[in-house]
Amino acid sequence: MLNGLYKVEMHTVHGSRRGVIYVYDGKMMGGNSAFAFIGTYRESANGEVSVDISTMRHNDDPNFQPLLKSDKVTLSLRGRQQGEQYCFEGGTTQVPRIAFHSVMTPISEAAAPPAMPAGEGGIGNGLYSLHIRMLDGIDGGNTGVMVLHDGRIRGGDAFFDYIGAYTPQARVNARCLGVTKSASVFPVPTPPREQSRRQPPWPASAAFASARC
């Protein structure tokens, strides 16, 4: 698979969802406004791609319902490239007998700013939960995920993708380059003004943390 940012569309008998996935060096990290995805992939000689990926909630808003009726699942998927897309199918032992289908479509990174040089003592690589709140009394905001990888910013939610760069000292130079039109039934509610700073229960080895702007 080509390294880079992908739009992912997911389907089961319970409905459809959208999100983003950043793929690099055998790893997958991404998510949407309520759930984070993190896993690995392997490619065989015949072109088949095998994926093991876990999901975990990072937004406690009950308006966001899981596609597989559980906040935490591990999916085993198999698929291959069809044109520019990658199509997968599979499921999870936690919710048996429910088929899961997904399609990954690459998002162009041609206009992405160059990655900043790496350094010591700065913010670490990994998957971050992103909570955005408007300033100056404006009632609005959003949630999503953001992958930091060697000076690159890649992430998004069900509607937007984020492509940018950052310095080792965590000064962010990011830009939103694309908008994904979505017919998904996944709502995007306005987060409350005061949110808990509880750390999501993600394993430390996954380098998953919470970032707030």
Q: How far is 8 from 32, CA to CA, in rounded Å?
A: 10
Buried/exposed code over 20-59 (b: 16+ C-beta within 10 A; e: otherwise): bbbbbeeebbbbbbbbbbbbebeeeeeeebebebbbbbbb
- Residue 197 pLDDT level (bands cut at 50, 70, 90): very low
- All domains of the chain in start order, with CATH: 4-106 (2.40.128.380), 126-212 (no CATH)
Segment 108-136 shows an average pLDDT of 79
Cα 201 versus chain centre, distance: 17
Residue 194 has pLDDT above 60, yes or no: no
Segment 182-193 shows an average pLDDT of 34
The kind and range of the H/E element at 160 are: strand 160-166
pTM above threshold 0.75: no
Please choose, from the candidates 185, 202, 187, 211, the residue with its C-alpha nearest in 3D space to the C-alpha of residue 11. 185
pLDDT, position 120: 65
- Tell me the three state secondary structure of residue 79: strand
Cα 123 versus chain centre, distance: 19
Those residues whose C-beta lies under 8 Å from the C-beta of residue 14, and which sit 6 or more positions away, are 67, 68, 69, 98
pLDDT, position 119: 62
Please choose, from the candidates 133, 124, 149, 136, the residue with its C-alpha nearest in 3D space to the C-alpha of residue 204. 124
- Tell me the three state secondary structure of residue 71: coil
Q: Are 82 and 63 in contact (CB under 8 A)?
A: no
